Structure formats: C-alpha cells, structure tokens
Structure 1
Amino acid sequence: MTEAAPPHALLRPRIAIPFLVTALIWGSTWYVIRGQIADVPAQWAVAYRFALAAPAMFALALLTGKSVRMPRRAHGLALVMGLFQFCANFTFVYASEAHLTSGIVALIIGVMFVSNALLARVLLGQTVTARFILGSAIALAGIALLLVNEARTAPLEGNVALGAALALAGMISASLANVLQAGPAGRDVPLVSLLAWAILYGVGIDIGLALALAGPPVLPASGWFWAGTAWLALVGTVVTFPLYYQLVREIGAGRAAYNGVLVIVIAMSISTVLEGYRWSALAIAGALLATLGMIVALRARQVAAATPARPPE
C-alpha cells in the first residue's frame, strides 16, 4: 500500500484527471437514473445496468492482463459487495429518485463519509476525530434544511420522507461494501477482478429481486432508455469504479472522498437546469452548510488518513 500523497497531490495530472473525470461522470448519472425509472420498474433498471456492466468489467480485467481467478474468501467478499453495493445500494437509490430530485439524492448519498466513519470505527477499529464529528454535524444540519425545502416545494409531488429514507438506506448499504472491502481479502486480488465478480454476483441478486418484486422483465422500446443504460453501465460503472478505488490507493481515502463534494455540485447544477430545482434562501443556506460541513469533516479524515496503520503487503 502506498503512503498518503503529499500536499498538492490533486494538482498532479495523474491524480487530477481521474479525480475530475470520476466526479463529472458520477455527477451526471444521478439525472440519467431519473429516465431509467420512468417506464421500467426500478428493480429491472438496476438489473439491466449491471447485466451489461458485468461482462464489460470482466473484459476490462482480461484486457489489462489481470487474472479473474480468485481464492474462496475473495469470492465471499465479492458476494457481499454484490449484495450491498450492486444490489441494495442501487435499488434503494433508484427507488428514492421517484420521490426526490436527483440533486437531493446525490447530496444525501454524498454524506456517506459519516456512515463510513462510524462503520469503520465499529468494524475496523479506526478512530473518529472531534473535527470530523463537528463537520458531520454541520453537514447534517445543511441536509436537514435542504430536505425541509424539498418538502415545501416538492416539485415531484412525491413522498419526501420516504425518498429520504430510501436514499439513507442506499447510503448505508454502500458504506458497508466500502468498509468491508478494505480488509485483507480485498487487497489480495486485483481490484478490477474483484469488481467484476462483485458485479456478476450483484446482478444475479438483482434479477432474482426484480422477478420477485416487479414480475417478468419489462423491455422498453425507447432508444433513450438503452442509451442511458449503456452510459450508466459502461461509463458510470466500468470506467469510474476502478478509477475511484485507484485514487483511494494513491492519495488515501480522506483526500479521495473530496470527490463527493464535486459530485454533489455537478448533480445539483444539472438538477437546477433540467429538473427545475428551485434555489430558495433555505435551499441555498442548506447547500452552503452541507458543503462547509463536508469540507471540515473530510479535512479531518485527511489528517487521520495521513498516518494509517500499514497493512500487510
């Protein structure tokens, strides 16, 4: 494992380019998801996305010379990641977008560093600093203001409380996958290979869940639906997940997590232009508080990540 990068690492092209590319892509995917659930049950939209992403990720592993053979414990980890990251997380997120604007859902998921820190404390014994707690409290206050504004305006006329609960469930599911993959089983195998198997296991669970909850497959005729599916699968999954986790390895989890702040800015900007999101004084105050809190909390994580316990090579 490499040491944490020195200051100004984000200014280096080999770091800055994947950092910005990942944020731009993930910032756009929130709006694309809205089109995926317009005519198709959310469970099938998730299944189609990862049914396309799985063979593409295996192809990427083979093209980059990575072995797709893994030991049994790595397959166990991939199965857990498939359940929590590529099934539960996206199922909850897709469902939440039926009630909230994509920018708000992105903002809730963007506070995942809070659940990451708590789960890492419980499962990995990592410490949580006072500055991190302070930043998290500020960010959560901002989220509360944004949700109050959402409840008042409700541009989608959805159930705001249900949408928020679904988004939070998606956030916790992703956090579980993030923390669990940080163990030795994940470090023993190539990242792309681990992701390929995790997506394959996830899509199997996705299809079973879709059959149970939504019935037989729904195949829309819209070309835009399948174009959106291809974007989410190939670009929003196969391109971004390896890039992001490589950033975590090179600059540390704390600095890489700044990506989430930029994702939120991009997602809410798209929501403003394409979904008519209304920036009231309450919403502006909430967004500013949330962004400030994230920066404070993530800077605290950066300090903590600068001197990690060195794992086995």
Structure 2
Amino acid sequence: MSAFIYVLMIGLWGFSWIAIKWQGGSVATEVSIFYRFALAALLMFIFGKVFNQLQQTKLSQHKFFALQGLCLFCCNFLAFYSATHYIASGLTAVVMATAPIFNALHGRLFFKTPTTANFWLGVIVGLSGIGLLFGADLMATDWSMDVLLGLVYALMGTWCFSIGNMISIRNTRDNIKPYTATSYGMVYGCLALLLIIYLRGLPFTIDLSTQYLGSLVYLAIPATVMGFTLYLILVDRIGANSASYVLLITPIVALVVSSVFESYHWTVYSSIGLSLVIAGNLMARRIKPLWRMKPRALAKAV
C-alpha cells in the first residue's frame, strides 16, 4: 500500500508545480492560495462527516492544528508561489527535494533522532547538486537577482514544509489521525491567509480563464485534498524522513512538465545537478556507513 501511495503522489505533486505557475497573473498570490485551501477545506470536512473520518478533538490540541496549518497551508505556499514568479516551476520542485535533509535536522533538534556520517555526506552532495542547477542559471543571466530570489523563496517554503512535518508527528503522537489534523490545519491556514489579505488590502478578484480555474481545481482537489492526506498518512506510517523521499522523484516529473510548458532547457549542469540532489538524499538515508559496504552493495545503495 505504501508503494502505491508513493507512485500516486509522485504524479499528483509532480504536475502541481506547473499548476502553481498558472495561478500567477491578475489574482493576488495570497487570494489564489486562499481560494485553493478554502475549497479543499470545505471538501475535507464534507467527506470527513460523510465517511466519519473526523475525530473529536480537545481545545488544547487546536493550537498545534493552527501551527500545522500556518506552516503547511499558508507560509510555505506563500513562499512557493512567490518562487515560481522568478524561476521555473520545476526548479522550485527540485529545491523542495531537500525536504528530507530539513526533516533529518529538525528531527534531531525536536525528537533527538540521531544522524549518521552518511547523512552529512548526503547533505554535501545534495547541496552541490542545488549549486549546479542554480549556478548554471545564474551564470547564464549574469547573476540575476530574480534567480536568487526564487532560490531563497523556495528554500523558505521547504523549511516551513519541514516544520509542518514535525508538528504532524507531534499530532500523531497525540493520537490525532492525519485526516483530522489536515482538515483543521487547512481551516487555520485559511484564517491566517484572510488576515494577511485584510492587512494588505487585497481585493477578492477571480480569473475566469480555463487555465486559472482548471489549475485551481487541480490544486485544491488532487494536489491538496488527496496529496496532503496521503502524504501525512505516509508520515504516520513510516516517519517524516522516509515519507519525504517521495519528493526525490517529483522534481523529475516537474522538470519534464516544465520543459514542455515553460520551455525549460535541460543542460549538462542541470542533469548532473538533479542527479546529485537525488543521490545526496539517498546517501543521507543510509544507516550503514558507505565506506564499510562492499562494492556491490555500495553500487545498489547509490
């Protein structure tokens, strides 16, 4: 079952990045994200009531739902949507592939989860891959500020996503099912977005184009209602570090889609960089030190 969820999520989230790109335009970013999660939250509560998936909760648990919602359904997407204004959507997905590294660091910080020498080797290799991916773009654009801003926004979004994972683990340890935590988290995320929209004085406009409405529906239902519930189920079953490895294949799908719809050009640098990101994350996941493995086992590991 976990393998099936992995494959399904790779498709759901692989195509979601270009849909995020298509949300840019006349509608403010904050408003587009609010539409997405308001629709998703409504559907989550309807399905939860019909199929009896929503647990009864205590008032004291809602502060953690609110924190999870702020991280997973507000701040991280404000950063990701902003990143796609400056860089290709596929590159944003590649940066998010560093989530296992953030999860390992945060797991050690919050839950005392140990790290290995392989982890630090993987971090070095993975960050080298990110450097190659963005280094080529920076050199091609004479160190464009747009590319740097896109990278910073994408890293901020990944950090928020990882913190949301940690809060999800905490909620699970409090016997809260992923569906319940996700549903309430979306509501609190929407409330945070409403506050931001109000403070910034943004209008509630809507783009009636097929591209905007189609991408909005895709992001709200397959990418959010299905995607986040399935992802948090994986976090519950196999832990945040292992679950976040679904993000290793997602960038490949996202970059292929980006090359079709955004004219993203694959280069030697980008190909090597993506390979290093994936290899670095796989190395970081190994428990047995690589230098103690036999050559044949080492080849399978990386």
Q: TM-score higher than 0.5 here? A: yes
Q: What residue number does 2:152 align with?
A: 165
From the superposition, tell whether residues 60 and 186 of structure 1 become closer, same or farther in structure 2 (CA, over 3 Å). farther
Q: Which amino acid aligns with 2:273?
A: G
Which of 258, 263, 270 is 2:257 aligned to?
Answer: 270
Q: What residue number does 2:228 align with?
A: 241
Deviation at 1:66, TM superposition (A): 2.2
Q: What residue number does 1:43 align with?
A: 30
Matches within 5 A, 1:3-152: 14-152=1-139
Contact 1:135 / 1:297 at 8 angstroms: preserved in 2?
Answer: yes
Deviation at 1:214, TM superposition (A): 5.7
Q: Which amino acid aligns with 1:215?
A: L
Which of 221, 236, 248 is 2:208 aligned to?
Answer: 221
| RMSD over aligned Cα atoms | 1.9
Q: What residue number does 1:5 align with?
A: none
Aligned partner of residue 219 in structure 1, secondary structure: coil
From the superposition, tell whether residues 243 and 216 of structure 1 become closer, same or farther in structure 2 (CA, over 3 Å). same
Q: Which amino acid aligns with 1:195?
A: T
CA distance in 2, matches of 1:138, 1:246: 29
Q: TM-score, normalised by structure 2?
A: 0.89
Contact 2:65 / 2:184 at 8 angstroms: preserved in 1?
Answer: yes
Q: TM-score, normalised by structure 1?
A: 0.86
Aligned partner of residue 237 in structure 2, secondary structure: helix
Q: What residue number does 1:199 align with?
A: 186
| Aligned structure 1 segments of 4 or more residues deviating by more than 2 angstroms | 66-69, 184-187, 210-214, 247-258, 298-301
Deviation at 1:199, TM superposition (A): 0.1
From the superposition, tell whether residues 147 and 183 of structure 1 become closer, same or farther in structure 2 (CA, over 3 Å). same
Q: What residue number does 1:10 align with?
A: none
Q: Which amino acid aligns with 1:261?
A: L
Which of 287, 291, 307 is 2:278 aligned to?
Answer: 291
Aligned length: 286
From the superposition, tell whether residues 186 and 73 of structure 1 become closer, same or farther in structure 2 (CA, over 3 Å). farther
CA distance in 2, matches of 1:67, 1:287: 39
From the superposition, tell whether residues 184 and 228 of structure 1 become closer, same or farther in structure 2 (CA, over 3 Å). closer
From the superposition, tell whether residues 149 and 124 of structure 1 become closer, same or farther in structure 2 (CA, over 3 Å). same
Q: What residue number does 2:196 align with?
A: 209
Contact 1:68 / 1:193 at 8 angstroms: preserved in 2?
Answer: yes
Contact 1:32 / 1:228 at 8 angstroms: preserved in 2?
Answer: yes
Deviation at 1:60, TM superposition (A): 2.4
Gaps of 5+ in 2: 289-302
Deviation at 1:256, TM superposition (A): 2.5
CA distance in 2, matches of 1:172, 1:251: 20
CA distance in 2, matches of 1:116, 1:206: 25
CA distance in 2, matches of 1:115, 1:245: 16
From the superposition, tell whether residues 258 and 115 of structure 1 become closer, same or farther in structure 2 (CA, over 3 Å). closer
Q: Does 1:280 align with 2:267?
A: yes
CA distance in 2, matches of 1:168, 1:300: 26
Percentage identity across aligned positions? 27
For residues 230-279 of structure 1, what are the alpha-carbon distances to aligned partners after superposition, in whole Å with 9 as ceiling and x for unaligned?
Answer: 11011101011121222233344443332111111111111122211111
CA distance in 2, matches of 1:73, 1:210: 27
